[in-house]
């Protein structure tokens, strides 16, 4: 049916081809995301009025920060031609270490709440980033495939996190931690949104205005050409996984603040969801291409979509089905896009 | 001279009246940006060896790929034993008795020799593979060919020459009527080559028609019956081998364009820029010494696998150096790495731009700038200088006449010639004095070729750069190089000055010191 529609547009002279070309250009440059966003806004917007309410938008914004931050990390791994399946457990590890350190510090120094929060955050970030370092050594130095390295890391770290907590949530963090970083608002905007905005800005500059960012793209696009261009591919591959670890870890800190407990199983869905956000955002699974803005938008889209499904009371189990279908759809469209691009070659 | 066929008006026939087993009429093939074949007529008679001759990019590979069923022609007809046919696939062509041995092997590295030989046609009993039978038939086939290879060996454990033998054994099957051999002797020793030629003669006696691609004049005369010369995708002439003198073939191969095609480049040799002394590197390069001076183009010729490519790679730090030194502008480079050599002023143009030269999905600008990002024109302490980057890349793209001049387009969308210009522009960003160019004009059309040559002329004459031109394209070496080295099996065979640079002189060093016929 869609084909018939397109064919009809094509037959009409003048406006038709121009519109078609515009749609095709949009698709080639931005992927399937704009289409999905239109469907989302029109669909849920008309179905459920609360969907576009101010209250709901802030809610979605806060909810989307965690996935956004982790997806930016995942994007870096994908750009270099790999991926990171351990982002979930990095979140978990961060959460557990942070909670333990924070709870222990505040228990021994009840008056030093600020110190406890600071130490906890640092310890959490350190633990998460350290896992990125190990991933980076495995992938860049020992030449383990990213798939095996991060899959094994996921098992190792999940096991460690469970071992440290005995499988039960860690309580005892000072209330101020959750109150500010989790639920706090500044000028009516949730605090995690500010943190995320700063990180998005930083990542934008890193990817587009620094050598490191440029090299991430180049390494994923063609590692041999990068080596021949004098790029220290090992160092930048290593740094890519460290960066993934750090970003996932920040996500872990913010999520822990929101949950107000340290938990070993908070990131279980993160690998899939972050890869989904990247792919829907047009990051190529072959490496070398992808825009930060689209990834951020895609992460927000996923959260917003799930929020919409919640509002119209679609069961959470079914939501998993929908997410999976969406992911496959995005990958298929990525293939189609590649074929379009190949067809645009000079000749 | 050859007679002219009255039917087509072009394809000459020899005395034989046998109808051709294969006939192509007006076969045309387009690739993006290049017309690979333009209306080629070709016929092959049973029991003859028909040699295809031509420069790289003349259309030989495209032609045999079409005959082998790997490519479909855009126009033209193929007749097999007088009947029009269309090959749907390589498998389809094989079913009709056409076998091809390509330069790129079609072997599965992880499987054994026998498994490769019978891949897709395994002898079976019921649903199971009959392994004893397969072993027996493999042994028999290898023995018949005289190849000393064990059927149970895994292919990835074999040498290149042995893999070539397996590939040939795979092609020699029972219902063979057309055999395509694409430079089959490149990796073989003399004895193995003799053995192969004996097989070719046996096949001829059995009425097999053989299409044979070679760059070697002596092979042409040893086993060829007729030769068809291709140039720029068109058939220039088909003649009997006895009429094919080297002078005539070169003339046909390159046409009369020699003067216009290759620019005259002044030779004003200055200081020694690149000095390679007794270099032993990688698996191949053995005790090679050469010098490239400012203001000259030095050719490095040799067959595929002679080690000429590896010399260039070793200079750029891409092959482990086991002995000898590389000096750049008088200073010794301890252990070359791409980064260090780029900084020191050496640019390397890899032979395969898609594999090693370009990040195909990224823009022209990002590709040109890639190796120069650490330099102050492209980045400061923290951030890229994108405005300066854009200006420099645009200037370089203009200098190389990139058409259309869009530096934000992904290089994947450019034609082969334009992609090659991007690779060359990339080499210019670090202001190098020495260029090592490995096959700088592979897979680009004639127009772009002349532009590449003009670019080289400018580099040498205006910038006083030195170029080491590594090329399998003999005319390129003969007409551009001021001096040339010829390599053979990893060693330097000869150094030829401009006056000595003739086709015969170079070719005579390509081979073992056997005399050429004809």
Q: CATH number of A33-343: 1.20.1740, 3.40.50, 1.10.3470, 1.10.287?
A: 1.10.3470
The DSSP call for residue A81 is T
Distance of residue A231 Cα from the nearest chain B Cα, in angstroms: 7
Instruction: Please provide the CATH number assigned to the domain covering B262-345+434-456+466-518.
Output: 3.40.50.300
Q: What is the per-residue pLDDT for A14?
A: 52
Q: Choose the most confident range, by mean pLDDT, from A161-175, A177-191, A240-254, B407-421.
A: A240-254
- pLDDT of residue A1 exceeding 70: no
* B18-97+176-253 topology per CATH: Rossmann fold (3.40.50)
Contact yes or no for B383 and A210 at CB 8 A = yes
User: How large is the average pLDDT for residues B463-481?
Assistant: 89
**Using CA atoms, how far apart are residues A281 and A2, in angstroms rounded to an integer?**
23
Q: Which of A205, A222, A231 sits opposite B360 (nearest CB)?
A: A222
Question: Considering only A125-134, A189-198, B180-189, B268-277, which range has the smallest mean pLDDT?
Answer: B180-189
Per-residue model confidence as pLDDT tens digits over B326-359: 999 888 888 899 999 999 999 999 988 888 999 9
Cα nearest neighbour of B31 on chain A:
A347
Q: Is A31 left (phi over 0), alpha (psi -120 to 50) or beta?
A: left
Q: Are B265 and B482 in contact (CB under 8 A)?
A: yes
Q: Are B284 and B469 in contact (CB under 8 A)?
A: no
Confidence of residue B187 (pLDDT cuts 50, 70, 90): low
- pLDDT of residue A8 exceeding 50: no
Per-residue model confidence as pLDDT tens digits over A229-266: 999 999 999 999 999 999 999 999 999 999 999 989 88
If you compute the radius of gyration of chain A from its CA atoms, what whole number of angstroms results?
A: 22
The DSSP call for residue B335 is S
Beta bridge partners of B486: B301, B494
Which of B109, B504, B490, B55 has its CA nearest to residue B305?
A: B490
Q: Is B246 on the interface with A (CB under 8 A)?
A: no
Which of B50, B26, B18, B16 has its CA nearest to residue B180?
A: B50
Per-residue model confidence as pLDDT tens digits over B252-303: 876 655 455 788 888 889 999 999 999 999 888 999 999 999 999 999 998 7
Domain locations along chain B: 18-97+176-253, 109-174, 262-345+434-456+466-518, 353-429
Interface probe, candidates B373, B378, B420, B423, chain A, greatest A C-beta count within 10 A: B373
Distance of residue B377 Cα from the nearest chain A Cα, in angstroms: 13
Q: What is the per-residue pLDDT for A254?
A: 95
CB atoms within 10 A of CB B322: 13
- Of chain B, the percentage scoring pLDDT greater than 70 comes to 91
Contact yes or no for B362 and A209 at CB 8 A = no
User: How large is the average pLDDT for residues A83-112?
Assistant: 93
Q: Is B447 on the interface with A (CB under 8 A)?
A: no
- pLDDT of residue B321 exceeding 50: yes
Q: What is the per-residue pLDDT for B260?
A: 58
Q: What is the per-residue pLDDT for A4?
A: 41
Average pLDDT, chain A: 88
Per-residue model confidence as pLDDT tens digits over B349-385: 998 888 899 998 899 999 999 999 988 889 888 899 9
Q: Which of B30, B359, B413 sits opposite A221 (nearest CB)?
A: B359
Question: Considering only A78-92, A318-332, B180-194, which range has the smallest mean pLDDT?
Answer: B180-194
Query: What pTM did the predictor assign?
Result: 0.77
Q: What is the per-residue pLDDT for A331?
A: 85
Q: Is B435 on the interface with A (CB under 8 A)?
A: no
Which of B238, B313, B270, B271 has its CA nearest to residue B53?
A: B238
Q: Which of B361, B384, B413 sits opposite A221 (nearest CB)?
A: B361
Distance of residue A226 Cα from the nearest chain B Cα, in angstroms: 8
Q: Are B338 and A186 in contact (CB under 8 A)?
A: no
Q: Is B366 on the interface with A (CB under 8 A)?
A: yes
Q: What is the per-residue pLDDT for A148?
A: 95
Asked whether the ipTM of the predicted complex exceeds the cut of 0.85, the reply is: no
**Using CA atoms, how far apart are residues B332 and B340, in angstroms rounded to an integer?**
12
Strands B466-470, B128-129: pairing is unpaired
What length is written for chain A? 347
Chain B residues near residue A342 by CB distance under 8 angstroms: 412
Q: SS3 of B288, please?
A: strand
Interface probe, candidates B370, B418, B447, chain A, greatest A C-beta count within 10 A: B370
**Using CA atoms, how far apart are residues A202 and A68, in angstroms rounded to an integer?**
13
Domain locations along chain A: 33-343
Chain A residues near residue B30 by CB distance under 8 angstroms: 347
**Using CA atoms, how far apart are residues A152 and A146, in angstroms rounded to an integer?**
10
Q: Which of A208, A224, A346 sits opposite B355 (nearest CB)?
A: A224
């Amino acid at each position: 049916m869609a084909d018939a529609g397109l064919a009809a547009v094509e037959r009409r002279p003048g406006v038709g081809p121009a519109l078609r070309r515009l749609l095709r250009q949009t698709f080639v440059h931005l992927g399937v995301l704009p289409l999905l966003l239109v469907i989302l806004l029109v669909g849920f917007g008309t179905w459920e009025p609360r969907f576009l309410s101010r209250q709901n938008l802030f809610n979605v914004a806060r909810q989307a920060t965690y996935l956004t931050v982790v997806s930016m990390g995942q994007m870096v791994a994908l750009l270099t031609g790999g991926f990171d399946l351990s982002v979930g457990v990095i979140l978990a590890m961060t959460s557990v270490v942070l909670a333990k350190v924070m709870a222990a510090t505040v228990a021994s120094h009840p008056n030093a709440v600020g110190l406890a929060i600071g130490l906890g955050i640092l310890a959490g970030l350190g633990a998460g980033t350290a896992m990125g370092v190990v991933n980076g050594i495995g992938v860049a130095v020992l030449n383990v495939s990213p798939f095996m390295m991060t899959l094994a890391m996921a098992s190792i770290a999940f096991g460690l996190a469970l071992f440290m907590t005995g499988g039960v949530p860690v309580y005892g963090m000072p209330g101020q931690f959750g109150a500010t970083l989790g639920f706090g608002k500044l000028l009516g905007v949730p605090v995690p949104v500010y943190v995320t905005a700063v990180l998005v800005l930083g990542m934008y500059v890193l990817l587009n205005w620094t050598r490191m960012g440029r090299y991430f793209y180049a390494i994923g696009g063609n590692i041999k050409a990068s080596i021949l261009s004098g790029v220290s591919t090992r160092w930048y591959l290593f740094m890519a996984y460290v960066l993934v670890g750090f970003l996932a870890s920040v996500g872990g800190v913010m999520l822990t603040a929101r949950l107000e407990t340290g938990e070993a199983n908070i990131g279980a869905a993160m690998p899939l969801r972050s890869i989904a956000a990247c792919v829907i955002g047009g990051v190529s699974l072959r490496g070398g291409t992808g825009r930060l803005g689209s990834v951020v938008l895609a992460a927000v889209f996923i959260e917003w979509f799930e929020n919409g499904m919640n509002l119209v009371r679609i069961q959470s189990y079914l939501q998993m089905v929908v997410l999976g279908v969406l992911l496959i759809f995005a990958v298929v469209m990525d293939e189609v896009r590649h074929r379009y691009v190949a067809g645009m070659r000079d000749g | 001279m050859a007679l002219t066929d009255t039917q087509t008006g072009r394809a000459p026939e020899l005395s034989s009246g046998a109808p051709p087993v294969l006939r192509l009429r007006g076969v045309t093939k387009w690739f993006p940006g290049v017309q690979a074949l333009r209306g080629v007529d070709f016929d092959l008679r049973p029991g003859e060896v028909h040699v295809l001759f031509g420069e790289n990019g003349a259309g030989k590979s495209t032609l045999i790929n079409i005959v082998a069923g790997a490519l479909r022609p855009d126009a033209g007809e193929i007749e097999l034993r007088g009947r029009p046919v269309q090959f749907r696939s390589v498998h389809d062509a094989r079913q009709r008795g056409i076998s091809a041995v390509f330069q790129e092997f079609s072997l599965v590295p992880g499987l054994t020799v026998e498994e490769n030989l019978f891949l897709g046609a395994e002898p079976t009993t019921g649903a199971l593979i009959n392994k004893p039978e397969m072993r027996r038939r493999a042994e028999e086939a290898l023995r018949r060919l005289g190849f000393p290879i064990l059927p149970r060996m895994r292919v990835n454990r074999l040498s290149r020459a042995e893999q070539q033998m397996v590939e040939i054994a795979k092609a020699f099957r029972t219902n063979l009527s057309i055999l395509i051999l694409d430079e089959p002797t490149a990796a073989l020793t003399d004895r193995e080559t003799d053995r192969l030629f004996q097989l070719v003669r046996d096949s001829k006696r059995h009425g097999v028609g053989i299409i044979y691609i070679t760059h070697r004049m002596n092979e042409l005369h040893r086993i060829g019956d007729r030769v068809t010369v291709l140039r720029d995708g068109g058939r220039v002439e088909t003649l009997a081998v006895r009429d094919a003198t080297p002078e005539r073939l070169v003339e046909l191969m390159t046409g009369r364009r020699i003067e216009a095609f290759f620019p005259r480049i002044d030779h004003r040799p200055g200081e020694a820029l690149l000095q390679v002394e007794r270099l032993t590197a990688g698996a191949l390069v053995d005790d090679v010494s050469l010098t490239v001076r400012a203001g000259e183009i030095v050719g490095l010729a040799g067959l595929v696998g002679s080690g000429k490519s590896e010399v260039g790679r070793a200079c750029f730090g891409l092959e482990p150096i086991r002995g000898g030194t590389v000096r750049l502008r008088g200073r010794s480079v301890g252990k070359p790495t791409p980064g260090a050599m780029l900084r020191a002023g050496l640019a390397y143009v890899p032979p395969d731009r898609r594999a090693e030269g370009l990040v195909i999905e990224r823009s022209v600008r990002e590709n040109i700038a890639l190796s120069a990002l650490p330099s102050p024109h492209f980045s400061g302490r923290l951030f890229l200088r994108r405005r300066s980057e854009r200006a420099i890349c645009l200037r370089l793209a203009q200098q190389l006449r990139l058409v259309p001049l869009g530096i934000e387009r992904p290089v994947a969308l450019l034609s082969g010639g334009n992609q090659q210009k991007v690779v060359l522009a990339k080499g210019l960003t670090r202001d190098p004095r020495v260029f090592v160019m490995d096959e700088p004009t592979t897979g680009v059309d004639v127009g772009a070729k002349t532009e590449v040559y003009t670019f080289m002329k400018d580099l040498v004459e205006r910038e006083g750069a030195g170029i080491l031109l590594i090329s399998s394209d003999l005319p390129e070496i003969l007409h551009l190089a001021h001096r040339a080295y010829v390599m053979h099996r990893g060693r330097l065979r000869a150094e030829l000055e401009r006056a000595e640079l003739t086709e015969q002189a170079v070719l005579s060093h390509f081979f073992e010191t056997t005399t050429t016929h004809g």
